[in-house]
Amino acid sequence: MSSRTLFSPLLLGVVLLVAVVVYLNLPSEEVVGQQGQRSTPVKTAMVKTQTFPITIESLGTAIANESVSITAQVTDTIKQINFEDGDKVQQGALLVQLNNTEERARVAELKANIDEAKRQFSRIADLRQSNATSEQLLDEQQARVKALEAQLDIANAQLKDLEVRAPFSGLLGNREISIGSLVQPATRITTLDDISVVKVDFNIAENHLASVAKGQRITASSIAYLGEAFEGTISNIDTRLDPISRSIRVRAIIDNTDERLRPGMLLTVVVEKRVLETLVLPEKALVPVQDKQYVYVVQDNVAVQTEVQIGERRPGVVQIIGGLQEGDEVITEGTLRVRDQSPVNVLNR
């Protein structure tokens, strides 16, 4: 008797709870149809013709137009540094001067020797005109002048090797040396990148190869700049496909005058294959049944299940190539609660 007393209120409470949940989830907008059936509240969209770009999407990596690690050509100590971290420099700008005291003295010595050798050559040439000296002596002196000039060229080249200059205009990275540091050809002084133009390398599948060409427009986006698109053009298509992935590498060029894109960035690249004028429908209107696609068309406030043929898809929208006509009203929200020939109440009219 005691068990029945405890069990009955518990069972009653569960039943009441289920009833409340069912009541709260009943659509409040439902109305009674002409035949006594309740009309299901739904939202619809009109099938219409609009521009539908067919695109290819891929991931790419940003690469500087030109990029190099600045190093010295010889082993010596640093005498002068003419840049700071992140400086923008022009081509040929002197970045670092190595110790060149000995080389400058050598150049000065050779110049003095050349001047003296030329004076001797002029004096011997004058004597030769009066037959006061031999032709051989004149030739020997001329050879001496040329030899000294060759030595001067070598000394100037060695002096130039002690100057580290920017090979092109661009943006410097962090300075990694100090005055007095001993640098070797393998020692990195800084980096230099030309990012006024950014290259983007990305891969596309083999079946899209015929749809891309040099000069074709692309857009790229980065998580660093949400909602922004950077426009560019395809500059090159590789000559070979990867035999494993059956994809081909494509390179695009993006103008980066504002220098917001940086080398190494991950970019989402969208290539526009072609643009169609076609019937378009929100993708959420589709109701897949086995291998077919259906939609519910509203006719006189009744849902009519209609099979459709779809074409290309884009996020949120789908191309309709058969089964519908422009102006048809299709259910987009509430499709799971309706059946063929059931009455509906369109809320967004």
**What span, in angstroms and rounded, lies between the C-alpha atoms of 71 and 191?**
9
My answer on whether 230 and 270 are in the same domain is: yes
Q: What is the DSSP letter of 37?
A: P
Co-location of 206 and 154 in the same domain:
no
In a domain, 78, yes or no: no
Question: Do residues 205 and 269 both lie within one domain?
Answer: yes
pLDDT in tens, the chain (349 residues): 444 444 466 667 767 776 655 554 444 444 444 455 688 888 888 888 888 777 888 999 999 999 999 999 899 999 999 999 989 999 999 999 999 988 899 999 999 999 998 898 888 887 777 776 677 888 888 899 999 999 999 999 999 999 999 999 999 999 999 999 899 998 999 999 999 999 999 999 998 888 888 989 999 999 999 889 999 999 999 999 999 999 999 999 999 999 899 999 999 999 887 777 888 888 888 988 888 899 999 998 888 999 999 888 877 888 888 888 888 889 888 888 888 888 988 887 7
Q: Chain-centre distance of CA 33, in angstroms?
A: 56
Does some domain include residue 229?
Answer: yes
pLDDT at 5: 44
Residues 154 and 207 in one domain: no
In a domain, 1, yes or no: no
Whether 124 is covered by a domain: the verdict is yes
Is the domain of 267 the same as that of 311?
Answer: no
The enclosing H or E element of 217 equals strand 217-221
User: Do 253 and 288 fall within a single domain?
Assistant: no
Q: Please, what's the b/e burial string for 300-312 (b: 16 or more CB within 10 A of its CB; e: otherwise)?
A: eebbebbebebeb
Residue 218 lies in a domain: yes
Say which DSSP state 308 is in: E
Asked if residue 319 lies in contact with residue 279, where contact means CB atoms within 8 angstroms, the answer is yes
Q: Do both 287 and 268 map to the same domain?
A: no
Domain end: 275, 305, 327, which one?
Answer: 275
**Displacement of CA 196 from its chain's centroid (Å):** 14
- Note whether residue 338 is domain-resident: yes
8 Å CB contact between 61 and 222:
no
Residues in the chain: 349
- CA-closest candidate to residue 344, choices 45, 38, 47, 46: 38
pTM: 0.61
Within-domain flag for 300: yes
Q: Are residues 197 and 253 in the same domain?
A: yes
Residue with structure tokens 């009455």?
343
Instruction: Report if residue 180 sits inside a domain.
Output: no
CATH number at residue 217: 2.40.30.170
- The contacts of residue 282 (CB under 8 Å, 6+ apart) are 45, 316, 317, 318, 332
Domain boundary among 275, 295, 326: 275
Q: Are residues 265 and 295 in the same domain?
A: no
| Domain boundaries, position 43 | 29-52+278-346
Q: Which two tokens mark 50?
A: 């609009």
Q: What is the pLDDT of residue 18?
A: 64
Distance between CA atoms of residues 312 and 283, nearest Å: 11
In terms of domains, do 305 and 268 share one? no
Structurally, the chain folds into a number of domains equal to 3
* CATH number of the structural domain spanning residue 48: 2.40.420.20
Q: Which residues contact 168 (CB under 8 A, 6 or more apart)?
A: 66, 68, 91, 192, 194
- Residues 258, 199 share a domain: yes
